[in-house]
Amino acid sequence: MSELWKAGLGELALHVESGDVSCREIVSAALARIERHDGSIGAFLRVRGESALAEAKTADEARSAGRARSRLHGLPIAVKDILASPEFETTCGSRILAGFRAPYEATVLRRLREAGLIVLGSTNMDEFAMGGSTENSAWQKTQNPWDLARVPGGSSGGSAAAVAARLVPAALGTDTGGSIRQPAALCGVTGLKPTYGRVSRYGLVAFASSLDQIGPITRSCSDAALLLGVIAGHDAHDATSYPEPAPNWLASLSGSADGLRIGVPRGFFDGEGADPETMARAREALRSFEGLGAKTVEVELPNSAYGIATYYLICTAEASSNLSRYDGVKFGFRAVSQTLDEMYEKTRSEGFGAEVKRRILLGTYVLSAGYYDAYYRKAQQARTLIRRDFERAFESCDLIATPTTPGPAWRLGELVDDPLQMYLADVYTVTANLAGLPALSIPCGFNGAGLPIGLQLIGRPLDEATVLRAGDAFQRQTHFHERMPEGFAS
């Protein structure tokens, strides 16, 4: 089979099962794609060329001896630079973690390894996952494969760009307020944030612990279902990990959306200041779902108007606490200094970038004496109201649809000096994190300039199955997710 790089995980699995291609050929093809194309998009921070090829050889041997560890044994994947591994450096896009090699392995990486997936390298991201454009990386910029003058979204911008440019069939990202779904939408790929607790965070560098989740970025919903099946499940190392075993999501993909009730939140598809083309494509996707037998019902999420304010209070407060561990003592970068106090201050001041400092300052302020009740406690109360809105809405529907973003990818540099505008781009995604709900972004069309647009599907707690089933049914009838960016189609 030629052009192996065009295939997703499920298709590649069929090929290696039938024996017409080897894992070594697949991994070589992916490495060749990275070599040829990553120079123009900057998705990867590091690539494990030789060790990946050696692992592919071992996988071929295991498979021919009838010892395949899973259907995905020997297939390549990329991971965001935020997961602890003794095999390679983890910097979280930050100078302060330069050179850090963890003494232990993140649970998701262990699960990938046990299923036989081969990590080809780690992908660029906004520093500590703070940002929506990947421009906050301390190391490099990442370009959107659909238009190299534009951002790929963020914070998992490297993972989304790598999948969109067909460098790898799949990647892992993380999502605290939209960091899987937003770059997936802006790069025209599929991204799933699972339910809070569904995937273990052991070994995930913490940003905002009550919101962070790890999830797949893939070419299709069926690949997302396959990959989620690998990484999900209870883990005693993560006290927030959901205790029930993970279901077989692939089996839930019936291909039908018949009878599904899709909630359409009032006002979400004609948002003030939102891009008309983006809204139009999202509305067309709703009509496609109706054509597939789904019913749309209007729902109300009145407190979502407070989503961004609530989210930025909670995430910065948690970040200011989580990031106190970077002080030059235990790992990473240390500034030259004479005294301990000077060491802490200089290390943090030289090691963190502007956005991280901004959020630490904001979080420290809202948690400081006299402000806690007015800000943090108030935000956690607003969060309860936002969650209750969803509970009420799910009494009359099985899924909630929204545009994933208010507009398409913006130009590199366009919003770097306006943090608040950048925050407002998360308007449709943050509430699923605040409520802990599974949420998917699927490609649902393109604007006049050829930039991809995403539709978000939010499910009930732990109901990834319905979200994936609906997305898969849509993808069986549409071809948006198969379209490749020009310049990366050969």
Partner 1 sequence: MNITRETVLYVARLARLRLTAEEVPRMQRDLDAILDYVATLRALDTTGVPPTTHVLEIATPLRPDEVRGVLPVAEVVRNAPQHDESAMIVPKVLE
Q: Which of 383, 257, 391 is nearest to 314 (CA)?
A: 383
Tell me if 416 contacts partner 1 by CB under 8 A: no
Among 70, 140, 240, 466, the residue binding partner 1 under the rule CB under 8 A is 240
Distance CA 125, CA 91 (A): 10
DSSP assignments along 418-434, one per residue: -HHHHHHTTTTTHHHHH
Task: From 152-160, 164-172, 215-223, 358-366, give the range in contact with partner 1 by CB under 8 A.
Answer: 358-366
Nearer to partner 1, 306 or 446 (CB): 306
141: annotated active-site residue: no
Catalytic residue among 122, 179, 200, 288: 179
Considering only residues 460 to 489 of the shown chain, the ones binding partner 1 according to CB under 8 A are 461-462
Tell me if 375 contacts partner 1 by CB under 8 A: yes
Distance CA 434, CA 163 (A): 27
Tell me if 413 contacts partner 1 by CB under 8 A: no
Shortest reach from residue 410's CB to partner 1, in Å: 19
Tell me if 36 contacts partner 1 by CB under 8 A: no
Burial of 75 (C-beta count, 10 Å sphere; 0-12/13-18/19+): buried
Task: From 50-58, 351-359, 401-409, 465-473, give the range in contact with partner 1 by CB under 8 A.
Answer: 351-359
Considering only residues 188 to 207 of the shown chain, the ones binding partner 1 according to CB under 8 A are 195-197
Rg (C-alpha) for the chain, rounded Å, is 21
| Cα three-residue angle 428-433-436, rounded to 5 degrees | 130
Among 53, 54, 385, 416, the residue binding partner 1 under the rule CB under 8 A is 385
Tell me if 354 contacts partner 1 by CB under 8 A: yes
Shortest reach from residue 270's CB to partner 1, in Å: 21
Tell me if 178 contacts partner 1 by CB under 8 A: no
Q: First and final CA of the chain: distance in angstroms?
A: 15
Q: Do 408 and 451 touch, CB atoms closer than 8 A?
A: yes
Tell me if 344 contacts partner 1 by CB under 8 A: yes
- In the 8-state DSSP scheme, what is residue 264? E
Q: Measured on CA atoms in the order 336, 341, 342, 347, is the torsion positive or negative?
A: positive
Query: Position of tokens 């913006």?
Result: 410
Binding mask 45-84 for partner 1 (x = CB under 8 A): ----------------------------------------
Distance CA 316, CA 312 (A): 6
Tell me if 237 contacts partner 1 by CB under 8 A: no
Tell me if 382 contacts partner 1 by CB under 8 A: yes
80: annotated active-site residue: yes
Q: Do 164 and 409 touch, CB atoms closer than 8 A?
A: no
Catalytic residue among 94, 133, 137, 155: 155
Q: 3-state class of 153 per DSSP?
A: coil
Tell me if 425 contacts partner 1 by CB under 8 A: no
Task: From 119-127, 146-154, 363-371, 447-455, give the range in contact with partner 1 by CB under 8 A.
Answer: 363-371
Cα atoms in the 13 Å half-sphere on the side-chain side of 119: 26
Tell me if 136 contacts partner 1 by CB under 8 A: no
Q: Which amino acid is at 34?
A: I
Considering only residues 217 to 236 of the shown chain, the ones binding partner 1 according to CB under 8 A are 236
Considering only residues 74 to 133 of the shown chain, the ones binding partner 1 according to CB under 8 A are 99-104
Catalytic residue among 6, 80, 159, 441: 80
64: annotated active-site residue: no
Tell me if 332 contacts partner 1 by CB under 8 A: yes
Burial of 64 (C-beta count, 10 Å sphere; 0-12/13-18/19+): exposed
Shortest reach from residue 141's CB to partner 1, in Å: 21
Task: From 150-158, 218-226, 417-425, 445-453, give the range in contact with partner 1 by CB under 8 A.
Answer: 417-425
Number of residues that bind partner 1 (CB under 8 A): 72
Shortest reach from residue 312's CB to partner 1, in Å: 6
Tell me if 383 contacts partner 1 by CB under 8 A: yes
**Number of Cβ atoms within 10 Å of the Cβ of 458:** 28
Nearer to partner 1, 40 or 349 (CB): 349
Task: From 15-23, 33-41, 118-126, 239-247, give the range in contact with partner 1 by CB under 8 A.
Answer: 239-247
The structure tokens listed for 220 are 């299709």
Among 345, 466, 476, 478, the residue binding partner 1 under the rule CB under 8 A is 345
| Strands annotated E in 105-225 | 118-123, 170-175, 190-193, 213-218
DSSP assignments along 76-121, one per residue: EEEEETTB--SSS---TT-GGGTT---SS--HHHHHHHHTT-EEEE
Tell me if 361 contacts partner 1 by CB under 8 A: yes
Q: Which of 287, 250, 245, 331 is nearest to 444 (CA)?
A: 287
Nearer to partner 1, 46 or 378 (CB): 378
Indicate which residues carry an active-site annotation. Answer: 80, 155, 179
